[in-house]
A and B are shown apart, each in its own frame.
Chain A
């Protein structure tokens, strides 16, 4: 189906379905970026300081791509990011967890699990019927390519030596949370029927597992069985989160609240 639907074409249900899709994408990217910047001065090489800074900047750029489309549907940046109740965020709990202190393996495993899923999700949107989304997916995909390469390059290195055990620990801790990446969204039927996403979420989940499990096993890691893994109670996607999310949300909004809700659009100076 060619991308032909515009915001004006959407009925109420279609609009809710598109919003569900966009909130997940935007919140995932935003919170992943928030956590990655915590590593800024702690990465093990200057190059990886820069790599993480750059990847976090990309994630914020992509969060903005998707929040923009929500603004096009009538939301404002203030209500999307700065004032939305924390329990209305739809990101996976994988991205909100604090890093185990100084655990470089944690950041690499997390990036790999997230970026491999992100790529599949974006590929399933290339042929979306929603025109504003179709316009932006290619750009995000191009910019994401390096993220996965960076994570895999580090995974190869870390599992080749003494750090294998750290990687295994991180994997066991993070994998159950990553299983919520492809949890079924509200409006899944409408998302697929309307061609907003061209693959069903269950198919994406299978494809992701068939990608990550053999790769991780080839590095000498034991991947928890997805069917037996103990799933965390908070699912993220339904607005339930770990206790760490409230803390992070309070942190990143602190300055906004202190400045008494500055208008983001007015930051720009008038030079023309």
Chain B
């Protein structure tokens, strides 16, 4: 690329998360979830992105929610709530805040233990935002 290209307005090409398609079966919204898993989804909807007033579920960050049984430290069976999620950007300075909030949301559903696992496949892109999320972002003043 020459310097001229760089100064001739190709800069917008770098907001490349605006491109791409939502992979099949994404975004995950918890549709059809039941029981404790549905409770976890409901609590996740309450968590907003630290920079924008939109739920992390509507942003398309949640990739999976499940509850499994495991053996606790005392040898008794216990329930573990697992959320798999992504971040829009690996350098996200609010990662600890968000994952901490998610952990709290899982525990609020009454499970014994919580795990948050970060995944970066599929790569998040703006087409993974739900319709409700788009509306919230437009209200916030972002063109999506």
Q: Which residues in A have some Cβ–Cβ distance to B below 8 Å?
A: 57-58, 60-62, 64-65, 68, 134-136, 138-140, 142-143, 145-146, 149, 152-154, 156-157, 160, 264-265, 267-272
A68 in contact with B121 (CB, 8 Å): no
B90 in contact with A61 (CB, 8 Å): yes
B100 in contact with A139 (CB, 8 Å): no
Given A58-B91, A157-B3: A270 touches B100 (CB 8 Å cut-off):
yes
On chain B, the residues within 8 Å of A60 by CB distance are: 91
Q: Does B28 contact A (CB under 8 A)?
A: no
Given A65-B90, A68-B118, A138-B123: A272 touches B1 (CB 8 Å cut-off):
no
On chain B, the residues within 8 Å of A156 by CB distance are: 1-3
B119 in contact with A135 (CB, 8 Å): yes
Q: Provide 26 A-B residue pairs closer than 8 Å at the C-beta atoms, listed in order of the A residue.
A: A58-B91, A61-B89, A61-B92, A135-B121, A136-B120, A136-B121, A138-B120, A138-B123, A139-B123, A143-B89, A143-B91, A149-B6, A153-B1, A153-B2, A153-B3, A153-B5, A154-B3, A157-B3, A268-B101, A269-B97, A270-B100, A270-B101, A271-B97, A271-B100, A272-B101, A272-B108
Majority DSSP secondary structure for residues of B touching A: helix
Majority DSSP secondary structure for residues of A touching B: helix
On chain B, the residues within 8 Å of A138 by CB distance are: 120-121, 123
A142 in contact with B96 (CB, 8 Å): no
What is the CA–CA distance of A152 and B91 in the complex, to the nearest angstrom? 23
A265 in contact with B96 (CB, 8 Å): yes
What is the CA–CA distance of A149 and B121 in the complex, to the nearest angstrom? 24
On chain A, the residues within 8 Å of B47 by CB distance are: 272
- For A62, A65, A142, A272, the residue with the greatest tally of chain B CB atoms inside 10 Å of its CB is A272
Q: Which residues in B have some Cβ–Cβ distance to A below 8 Å?
A: 1-3, 5-6, 14, 16, 43, 46-47, 89-93, 95-97, 99-105, 108, 118-121, 123
What is the CA–CA distance of A148 and B1 in the complex, to the nearest angstrom? 10
Find the B residue at minimum CB distance from A58.
B91
B6 in contact with A139 (CB, 8 Å): no
B91 in contact with A61 (CB, 8 Å): yes
What is the CA–CA distance of A64 and B95 in the complex, to the nearest angstrom? 11
A272 in contact with B104 (CB, 8 Å): yes
What is the CA–CA distance of A272 and B100 in the complex, to the nearest angstrom? 8
The 3 A-B pairs at the shortest CB distance, nearest first, are namely A61-B91, A61-B90, A272-B104
A105 → B minimal CB distance (Å): 15
CB < 8 Å: which of A68, A143, A272 contacts B46? A272
Find the A residue at minimum CB distance from B46.
A272
What is the CA–CA distance of A267 and B101 in the complex, to the nearest angstrom? 12
On chain A, the residues within 8 Å of B95 by CB distance are: 64
B57 → A minimal CB distance (Å): 13
